[in-house]
Amino acid sequence: MTMTTEEYESQYTEESKNGETLRQVSDNKNKNSHKQSHPFLAKLGTGAACGVAFGLAAALVFAGIVKASGLDRMFLNEAASNDTRQEQYIEKDKLNNEDIADKEKDDDSKKEDEGAVSAEHISSSDDFTGNGINSIVKEAMPSVVSITNTGVEEVLSMFGTRQYESTSVGSGIIIGENDEELLIATNNHVVDGANELSVCFDDDKDKVVSGRIKGTDASNDLAIIAIRLSDLNDEIKGSYKIAKIGSSDDLEVGDQVVAIGNALGYGQSVTTGIVSALDREVTIDNFTAKLIQTDAAINPGNSGGALLNMKGELVGINSSKFAATKVEGIGYAIPIDTAEPILENLMSRQTRDVVDEKDQGFLGISCQNVTEEISSMYDMPRGIYVVDVQSGSGAEKAGLKKGDIITELEGTSIRDYADLRKQLTYYKAGETIKVTVQVADENGEYTEKEVEVELSKASEAAPEGALDNDESEDKNSQQNKIEEYDMNDLFDQFFNYGY
């Protein structure tokens, strides 16, 4: 059936309307279905909206409180302060870096100046201010000499007393000179018992000359050796130097020091260390001294050598006599401020040579040592106790009596008979010497007295001549007998002392 155009359009329009109506109904159903199927999402949306509203309200309230209380200004000030401090720190670091850089430049400049001054000072001035150990050694080494002592050692055996030639080595320091002599300081034990002394300069075997003992002080372990200037050749005269004297009183614990000496007889050697202690009391051979303690090695042969400060000045005289053989890192030196007045006294004495034994003089006494123990026990001076005085001897004529204690001979300390015997080897019979004695009164109190004694000849000495040196067998027998005296018996006899 054929439809007209008007009928077709009318039908299409109706269908379109019906379709639109159906779509609208379908859409409405879908919307209603969606709303009914998601109730939780609807509530979540409502809660979120409420939260946003509450947060906004809280923020507004807090802002109002901060504004009203002035906290906003405080926070701003704190922030500004932090910024300021940070800027200050940055500026301070900058300044510190600049200061450090400037200081380093100044230090470098100062070191260069000091180096120039030191070099100029060493080469042109008498005062030493070098700052290196090698410079100190170079400057001081010509002041230190090696000493060889050749003597006779007595050895007691079952066959009697035998004598053997002995050799020992030590060191010395050139500390002065006069018109005729070069004067060398050393330890007393370095020259003790010497028949001959050889002094070596610059570790050169071709620069060896003979020396003489000018004076000794056994109590302080000091001695002076004199060398005739006429015995020195031109090479030696141009090589030695006189040591620069410093002050041991200026030393402090921890100061660095340098020791120079003839260690073990191998020749001049150098050791370094620090001052470990000052005024350290050390006792050896019944003698107590206050010494400088150092960890610089002081070995046998170093005795009499120099202990120097970092200016190259002499501050001590080394002494291996006080060194402990089983202990390392402990050495001792006699302080120069203690030694100097003693050395000056020894240098002022007349230089003497050992007199031939047949020409030596005698006091004419019998004696016994007053040891440190006896001195402390009986409150007696240290020295030699006069047991007997020979009739007609110089000692009797001078007024010496049994009970007197001899403490000095010609200004040299006498601690025992060995000291007395050694000193008498320098004086001939007929010479007059000064003897210092301690004389006890009725209460046992001692007073010092000085007497002049004319020395007797060996032939004039009585058989009881006691401990004076004598070459006859009878006298040697008597010496041995006297050595066996019991001091306690003597004290009982003279002072009523006893156990």
Positions marked catalytic = 189, 221, 303
Angle 317-422-225 from CA coordinates, rounded to 5°: 40
- C-alpha 292/C-alpha 290 separation (Å) is 7
- Which residues contact residue 319 at a Cβ distance below 8 angstroms, ignoring those fewer than 6 apart? 187, 221, 291, 298, 303, 304, 332, 333, 334
Orientation angle between helical segments 39-69 and 71-124, nearest 10 degrees: 60
Distance of CA 332 to CAs 35, 54, 313, 358, Å?
111, 92, 17, 40
Half-sphere exposure of 481 toward its Cβ, with a 13 Å CA cutoff? 12
The string of DSSP letters for 293-343 reads EESS---TT-TT-EEE-TTS-EEEEE-GGG--TT-SS-EEEEEHHHHHHHH
Half-sphere exposure of 211 toward its Cβ, with a 13 Å CA cutoff? 31
Across 43-62, b (16+ Cβ under 10 Å) vs e yields eeeeeeeeeeeeeeeeeeee
**Structural contact between residues 466 and 365, judged by C-beta atoms closer than 8 angstroms:** yes
- Tokens for 82, please give them: 């932090």
**Structural contact between residues 351 and 181, judged by C-beta atoms closer than 8 angstroms:** yes
**Structural contact between residues 296 and 254, judged by C-beta atoms closer than 8 angstroms:** no
- C-alpha 411/C-alpha 186 separation (Å) is 18
